[in-house]
Amino acid sequence: MDKLNVSVIGLGQMGAALARAYLQKDARVTVWNRSTGKATPLVEQGAELAPDLETAITASDLIIVCVADYATSDSLLKQPHVESLLKGRTLVQLTTGTRADAERSARWAADAGFQYLDGAIMDYPVVVGSNECLLLASGAQAVYERHEQALKVLGGRFTYVGEQPGAANVLDGGLLTIYYASAIGFMQSAGMMMAEHVTPETLKHALDAFKPVIDRTFEYCTDRISRREYAGTEASVHVHTLGVKSLLSRAKSAGIEHGLLQLFVDYLEKANEGGHEADELPAVFEAFRPRGTATV
């Protein structure tokens, strides 16, 4: 099999991990970064440092970009002489951004005559290159399929999520919202536990046993939100409100930051005021339902 040829533009914490994953698979990896010093460890591992962006682009048919944001990427790539070098190649944009960023970039690629996939990396650099690493890609399916093998070097769970260029970025936003809510919820909880002389390790151990309850809640919410049907006989919004108010007063009396718990109480109160007192927890979704726009 021919040696895989790939260029990686952007060698921050994530870009360097992407390049490393290819080096570990013995690919021919050309790298470029604004600050050249960051390329040194990669060059020691066999990467070729391009003297300029143009050389990095012409070195490979597959170009992976991972920089701070789309404005940075645009400032580097949206130049007529760079666009003409991109012609006929494939650019995979792994910088975090929005649906609009991806759509604008896909139109730009089509006008400039190169193939384009937009993607999102759903894990940390240390996991990149492993079978567990989840990445998402969207754009033309034929382009994804052509590069699937090369992309899966970055993560065994590299997943194609659809033709719409923004699909990966949209899902990235959905997953990250849940990620931050959970992670910051963990910090809130760890503070409260510490005030009660319970270690973070003990909390984590208890959380592992509790995870099936969380999973079932997500499944239940998915079903109820889709059907907009909130009646049930398990636990009312009223009962949940009492429970969360108890958490709030525990945090307050321990002198712990409690803004997050106050927000939870506010959302539950909103559901009560909206007439959902006897309904179940998924009724809180009504506070988040997009108004006046077409939804699923």
Ligand X SMILES: NC(=O)c1ccc[n+]([C@@H]2O[C@H](COP(=O)([O-])OP(=O)(O)OC[C@H]3O[C@@H](n4cnc5c(N)ncnc54)[C@H](OP(=O)(O)O)[C@@H]3O)[C@@H](O)[C@H]2O)c1
The interface mask with ligand X, positions 120-159, x = CB under 6 A, is -x--xx----------------------------------
Considering only the stretches 117-125, 159-167, 179-187, 217-225, report the one whose residues sit in contact with ligand X under the rule CB under 6 A. 117-125
Binding to ligand X by residue 7, rule CB under 6 A? no
Question: Nearer Cβ to ligand X, position 8 or 283?
Answer: 8
Q: Which of 6, 7, 8, 15 binds ligand X (CB under 6 A)?
A: 15
Considering only the stretches 48-56, 69-77, 243-251, 263-271, report the one whose residues sit in contact with ligand X under the rule CB under 6 A. 69-77
Binding to ligand X by residue 72, rule CB under 6 A? yes
Q: How far is the CB of 295 from ligand X (least distance, A)?
A: 27
Angstrom distance (rounded) from CA 274 to CA 38: 54
3 state SS of 59: coil
Residues 19-38 interacting with ligand X (rule: CB under 6 A): 33-35, 38
| Side chain identity at residue 56, one-letter code | A
Q: How many CA atoms lie within 13 A of 196 on its CB side?
A: 13
Angstrom distance (rounded) from CA 140 to CA 110: 11
Question: Nearer Cβ to ligand X, position 35 or 233?
Answer: 35
Angstrom distance (rounded) from CA 140 to CA 120: 16
Q: Cβ contacts of residue 225 below 8 Å, gap of 6+?
A: 282, 285
> Can you read off the two tokens belonging to residue 118?
């937009």
Residue with tokens 């590069």: 147
The residues pairing with 259 across neighbouring beta strands, listed in sequence order, are none
Residues 94-113 interacting with ligand X (rule: CB under 6 A): 95-96
Question: Nearer Cβ to ligand X, position 155 or 282?
Answer: 155
Number of residues that bind ligand X (CB under 6 A): 21
Angstrom distance (rounded) from CA 59 to CA 295: 44
Binding to ligand X by residue 68, rule CB under 6 A? yes
| Nearest residue (beta carbon) to ligand X | 12
